[in-house]
A = this chain, B = another copy of it.
Amino acid sequence: MDDTFNSALSVQEGIEQPSEVNPYLTKRQPKRELTADECVEGILRGDRVVLSRAITLIESTKPEHYAKGQEVIERCLPHSGNSIRIGITGVPGAGKSTFIESFGTYLTTQGHKVAVLAIDPSSERSKGSILGDKTRMESLSVNPKAFIRPTPSGLTLGGVARKTRETIILCEAAGFDTILVETVGVGQSETIVKSMTDFFLLLLIAGAGDELQGIKRGIMEMADAIVITKADGDNQLKAQQARNQYQSVINLFPANDNGWQVPVTTCSVYDQSSIIAVSNLINRFAEETRANGFFHLQRNQQLVKSFYEWIDFSIKSRFYENTEVKQLIEKLLPQIQSGHITPYQAGHQILENH
């Protein structure tokens, strides 16, 4: 199953780079676009070069790529879903890349095929942290059982979410059984990652006193497990103390409706057993929630939710992008703010004719 990954070519190209920043890829990249058939066949036999190019296709904003991209997704759908999707977020300094490098490598030694995707809302501006991804996970990026894909760039937050969900489908169809979706940056992307993953991992570090400081409100409550990283050397005791503190805060939260008790554990990339422990607890989560039906239920809910979210988003964009609507809003907002009309009166005026 993994023999398709053994050539140096595949390994290199597994890390998709836009052609303008990777001269090697430019030389090798064939001019001809792959057909939908070629994409699907390549993906299903686990060819990472084809997978990369198919992802590029669905990320394309060119109208002529749209139908083909959707056909590829549709034909991959029946082969998708057989995976665990793990969301990973962390406070700055928690060593997220180092953790993923170590955790992902361990998973590949256990026979898993690991895809690492990233959700980075800031990529809208910065055009993605592509070089970052390459240098951040040196050993995983050349691991034949791993596939690292930077966040799609030049999209809105909603667009990033959609493309990442579609990328997950293609990766799963290509045989990747463990999907790691990491947040890049802090703040906006956690909810999105949570909405497309089965398990949500929060990486924290031992701080100085005010342990909750700096974690965005609500993120702790999303977590299915909290891992205090860098629990090594002089830091070990502090990490253990932080673990206890977080555990007592977590215990104050109401119980989850899936029956899962959120564990707080410490971890060091220098201690393989602590990495194994994280893997084991995720396995236990998957087993338990598959048995009690929550795993399937959550995926179903995520599908339905993203359907409605997408419709809501689309009808809103359609409405607010209407030129007359824009002008009316511009005219009415100051009147609302100065208290001359109520928000409802203004709303009625706009909706009457649009």
Q: Provide the residues of chain B in CB contact with A341, threshold 8 Å.
A: 74, 77
Q: What CA separation (Å) do A332 and B303 show in the bound complex?
A: 12
Cβ of A165 under 8 Å from chain B? yes
CB distance from A207 to the nearest CB of B (A): 11
Contact at B307–A343, with CB atoms within 8 Å? yes
Say yes or no: A303-B78 contact (C-beta < 8 A), given A211-B252, A217-B218, A314-B351: no
Closest to A319 in B: B315
Tell me the residues in window 169-189 of chain A with beta carbons closer than 8 Å to chain B beta carbons.
169
Q: What CA separation (Å) do A212 and B318 show in the bound complex?
A: 43
Q: Interface size bucket, A side? A: 35 or more
Contact at B212–A70, with CB atoms within 8 Å? no
CB distance from A230 to the nearest CB of B (A): 21
Say yes or no: A315-B351 contact (C-beta < 8 A), given A166-B342, A310-B344, A343-B310: yes
Cβ of A80 under 8 Å from chain B? yes
Closest to A307 in B: B343
A residues touching B (Cβ–Cβ < 8 Å)? 70, 73-74, 77-78, 80-81, 162, 165-166, 169, 210-214, 216-218, 221, 249, 251-254, 300, 303-304, 306-307, 310-312, 314-316, 318-319, 332-333, 336-337, 339-347, 350-351
Sample 25 A-B pairs with CB under 8 A, ordered by A number: A74-B345, A78-B339, A210-B251, A210-B252, A212-B254, A213-B252, A214-B254, A216-B254, A217-B218, A217-B254, A249-B252, A303-B337, A303-B339, A304-B333, A304-B336, A306-B343, A307-B333, A307-B346, A311-B347, A311-B351, A312-B316, A314-B347, A315-B319, A315-B351, A318-B351
